Structure 1
Amino acid sequence: MMWHPPSLSAWDFRLIRNYREIFRMSEPRLYVIGLDGVPFTVLRDFLDQGIMPRLRELAGRSVFRSIRSVQPPLSAPAWASFLTGRPPDEHSVMSFTERDPRAMRWFTPDARQLTAPTLQEMASDMGRRVFSMNFPVTYPPKPVNGVSICGFLGKDLESGVYPEREVPLLKQRGYRIDSDVALARHDLPAFINDLKTVLTRRLETAMYYHDREPWDLFMVHIMETDRLHHFTYEAFQKGDEAIRDVYHQLYGMIDPFIGALTDQAPPGSRFLLLSDHGFTVLKREIYLNHWLWEQGFLRFNHPRPAHLGHIHPASVAYSLYPGRLYIHLKGREASGSVPPDKYEQTRETLRRALTGLRDPVDGAPVVAEVLNGEDVYAPPGLRAWHDPLTAAYPDLLVIAREGYDLKGMLWKGKPADKTVYNGMHSYDNAFWIAPQTEKAAAVNDIREAGVFTAHLLTEMF
């Protein structure tokens, strides 16, 4: 008599699925927590002072060191380098603002510009369950094997969440993509309260998702630290007691979240925490396009220039944030007039002029160095083959001395200013916490941190 397998009822299938979920609950997980703009030195001091006891426990059994950002040290290209393990010239996100020279327009790059796969996509391709919350350059969200909630620069939850069915739940929980930065310009206490509200909702929602399913890759990015630093870092560094108390409160809100994750993590789970750049006190904003205009390198065809189309054809160069200079090159820019055979000569003229740029208020030197774009962005073996007519990166990158922020607005009407922003990003002094291994200890910058994370992902799963 032939044996036939017993038929399985819907109840049987539910039991099998539940057993599978119970088994997955005990599997190791990879946790990635991004604390935007948190300097290594500040975090180290907070751990020493007992402000973050749970993170101190984790850091004490891990690699804990300073790392560098990307150049220029902006969140979009830095986090893109971490998520892809590639430098900006390879993943194609170099700043918050890019330009289309043929149309002479600027635009904000997003996930559609990324030309390399991300950690979330890698894990999904491996069949692993992924939860990603609030990381920059994840808007619009790409399909993943799990949930992806976009970070700042995302327009709204409706278009920034995958799958869309998660949107009502996020709204019900009061989740917001970002704080109301405009508040800081006129009401700092209200802004700080808003930061705490947004952070509370983010952490509560992250824990809800954490407890809902045993994710293989669980990633959460905290933006509120960066937001706080931009408007209060000078007072913090000067020892203002009220502001230092705010820092202790905000960082103290993050610590129990990290502790809860470490308490609930299955044996063998790994934790990676990092920031994308450091921070320093902002002395003054310098408006490079105004300086170019004063020096006769930039002209406009409109009394109130507002976009790249208002650049006069006779212009020599223009700037995008931060410190990225583009020669108005004929054959590349739609209105360009600088002949290609004058490119190197023009570049040297600009370099010499820029090295003499001084703070218009106190006469201090502003520029630390002026680099060729290919020396920053192009692979070493291809730098000698730099072709300005096809290169997407800037012709020159101006590196400012500490405390100077080289702004890229087309017209400001003044050469420099000190605004409500008093903290700015720094290239060095980001932090890295990772499992105690030689490879983790050898990580020197955020791109290498991404490479390490990708390798760890493949080793674990």
Structure 2
Amino acid sequence: MGLFDRFKSKAAKRAVIIGLDGTPYTLVRRFIEDGTMPRLAELAGRGSLLQMDTSVPDISSVAWTSFMTGANPGRHGIYGFLDLQPNSYKIFFPNSKHIRSATLWDAVGKTGKRSVVINVPSTYPAQPLNGTLIAGFVAVDINKATYPQELVPELKRRDYRIDVDARRVQESHDALMDEILTTLDRRIKTLLWLYDSQQWDLYIGVVTETDRLQHFFMDAIFDEQHKYYSAFKDFYSKVDRFVGEIASRLRDETMILMSDHGFTKIEQQVYLNRWLVEHGFLKLKENARSIEDIAAGSLAFALDPGRIYINTKERFPDGIVDKADSSKILAEIKVGMSEITAGGASIVKRLYERDELFAGDCIDSAPDLCIQSVYGYDLKGAVNKTQLMDREVFTGMHTQDDSTCFINASADEIREGKPHITDIAPTVLAAMGIEQPPGMDGRSLFRNSGN
């Protein structure tokens, strides 16, 4: 059976999702056109390759949780890699136990079908399911990252790596590139081993090395003379061969290839708490290290990436803003931040108030305002900066409107309109003949789907 004889039929009941963390649609298109990704080019020629929107904020913990639940953060409760404890300025790291919505594999498991879920961020610690799960970022312990535990000895024998050790950049960029390539190699071998050896109806395998490459080397791909230009393209050639390996194994499964957000070059990092301090909205204790060092008299503060919170009396222990006055403070911040410029142009693309983005039982923990920047200006929540903008070690930043979505279905099978990351789970359920649960906000990409 040839590669293109393997495309799905409407009766297909198994599904494969390959995640390429942070891979932009525009980069995929470029690599298809210049021959870097010939296998994906073949797939795209017979399927549908689409540009996709992701979550706001466009950070992996929010985006991957929105993918796995088909829900907005107001339902699933994850707003960032860092969040605030209730009625407090104390920071905590949300993990899989904080997700308030059921996952795609929960829905699949309820029908008696099995899932294999490998390296999806925000699934740590691994929760029991009908199948196999190896958690991704920010997993720290392979034992707690793996369900069932019987897989752990073999993972160790294979020297499986949960993530790239980004600290290698402190040695050199050469050392970091070697680390990225080695981790990619171990990842691909493990993904293929589990694809072949496990029983499954739904297979999800995520490559996160794409994101790590782009955070540190995104500038390389825009400059043919850059030291790492060829290495960047060679990396994606390896990813393309992996995609081809999966495609060659397909029978009649639905296959989706997706990313959780896009990427672009960083021009400057923008420190929103610095702006709030300079404009009298935020006061910090001396030598502040985090927002836990907020001082009395503060009206608002920011968390990564581009989240603004009004310091209200009803929500925070040292809040000074009455609920009735919060909209006025918010309006002042919106006007002021929309006027932040670089090179004579605004760095703000759009500002969203809470109810424009979020709905659900978890909305009370949502930020009051989310700011989306134009490409090149990475919004940060650091409190220890003395200037509004600078550049640090990263050369690449996330984008919200340039995620990748490929599905091995023809264009006439796919409904009109730009897909959203919350649409992936309903699409998979429709392909598997499983009814979409009521807690999902997305809708199937199939034109004639019942979901």
Q: Same fold (TM over 0.5)?
A: yes
Q: 1:228: Cα distance to partner?
A: 0.6
Partner Cα distance (1:183, 1:414) in 2: 28
Residue in structure 1 matching 2:62, options 48, 52, 77: 77
Matched, 1:337 2:320: yes
Residue in structure 2 matching 1:100, options 85, 93, 101: 85
- State percent identity of aligned pairs: 32
Partner Cα distance (2:170, 2:216) in 1: 9
Partner of 1:13: none
CA offsets per residue over residues 236-267 of structure 1, 9 Å max, x none? 1133354231122111112222222222223x
| Aligned partners of 2:142 and 2:162 also within 8 Å | yes
Partner of 1:248: 233
Partner Cα distance (2:273, 2:299) in 1: 11
Residue in structure 2 matching 1:366, options 327, 332, 347: 347
What's the secondary structure of 1:273's corresponding residue?
A: strand
Partner of 2:202: 217
| Aligned partners of 2:116 and 2:198 also within 8 Å | no
Residue in structure 2 matching 1:404, options 377, 380, 400: 377
Matched, 1:112 2:86: no
Max Rg structure = 1
Partner of 2:221: 236
Partner Cα distance (1:60, 1:185) in 2: 42
Structure 1 residues 454 and 411, CA gap change in structure 2 (3 angstroms) = farther
Q: 1:192: Cα distance to partner?
A: 0.7
Q: Which residues in structure 2 correspond to 1:52-451 (within 5 Å)? A: 52-240=37-225, 242-266=227-251, 268-300=252-284, 302-359=285-342, 362=343, 364-378=345-359, 391-437=364-410, 438=412, 440-442=414-416, 444-451=419-426
- Normalised TM-score (structure 2): 0.88
Q: Which amino acid aligns with 2:424?
A: A
Structure 1 residues 214 and 99, CA gap change in structure 2 (3 angstroms) = same
Q: Which amino acid aligns with 2:407?
A: A
CA offsets per residue over residues 43-98 of structure 1, 9 Å max, x none? 12212222222222222211111111111211111111111111121111122121
Partner Cα distance (2:301, 2:120) in 1: 31
Name the one with the larger helix percent. 1
Q: 1:374: Cα distance to partner?
A: 1.4
Q: Which amino acid aligns with 2:96?
A: A
Partner Cα distance (2:296, 2:397) in 1: 34
Q: Which amino acid aligns with 1:283?
A: E
Q: Which runs of 5+ in 2 are unaligned?
A: 1-11, 437-451
What's the secondary structure of 1:252's corresponding residue?
A: helix
Q: 1:313: Cα distance to partner?
A: 2.3
What's the secondary structure of 1:55's corresponding residue?
A: helix
| Aligned partners of 1:439 and 1:452 also within 8 Å | no
| Aligned partners of 2:66 and 2:76 also within 8 Å | yes
Residue in structure 2 matching 1:454, options 429, 433, 438: 429
Residue in structure 1 matching 2:33, options 36, 48, 52: 48
Question: What's the RMSD between the two structures over aligned residues?
Answer: 2.2
Partner Cα distance (1:283, 1:30) in 2: 39
| Aligned partners of 2:91 and 2:292 also within 8 Å | no
Partner Cα distance (1:287, 1:183) in 2: 26
Q: Which amino acid aligns with 2:280?
A: G
Partner Cα distance (1:423, 1:346) in 2: 32
What's the secondary structure of 2:51's corresponding residue?
A: strand
Partner Cα distance (1:355, 1:460) in 2: 43
Partner Cα distance (1:403, 1:155) in 2: 31
Q: Which amino acid aligns with 2:102?
A: P
CA offsets per residue over residues 240-297 of structure 1, 9 Å max, x none? 354231122111112222222222223x212110111111111100111112111111
Partner of 1:10: none
Q: Which amino acid aligns with 1:444?
A: P
What's the secondary structure of 1:293's corresponding residue?
A: helix
Q: 1:307: Cα distance to partner?
A: 3.3
- Normalised TM-score (structure 1): 0.87
CA offsets per residue over residues 425-449 of structure 1, 9 Å max, x none? 1111211111325554545111122
CA offsets per residue over residues 201-255 of structure 1, 9 Å max, x none? 0111111112213421111000011111111112211333542311221111122
What's the secondary structure of 1:34's corresponding residue?
A: strand
Structure 1 residues 119 and 369, CA gap change in structure 2 (3 angstroms) = closer
| Aligned partners of 1:281 and 1:424 also within 8 Å | yes
What's the secondary structure of 2:185's corresponding residue?
A: helix
Identify the range of structure 1 (225-234 vs 192-201) with the bigger mean alpha-carbon deviation: 225-234
| Aligned partners of 1:317 and 1:325 also within 8 Å | yes
Partner of 2:6: none
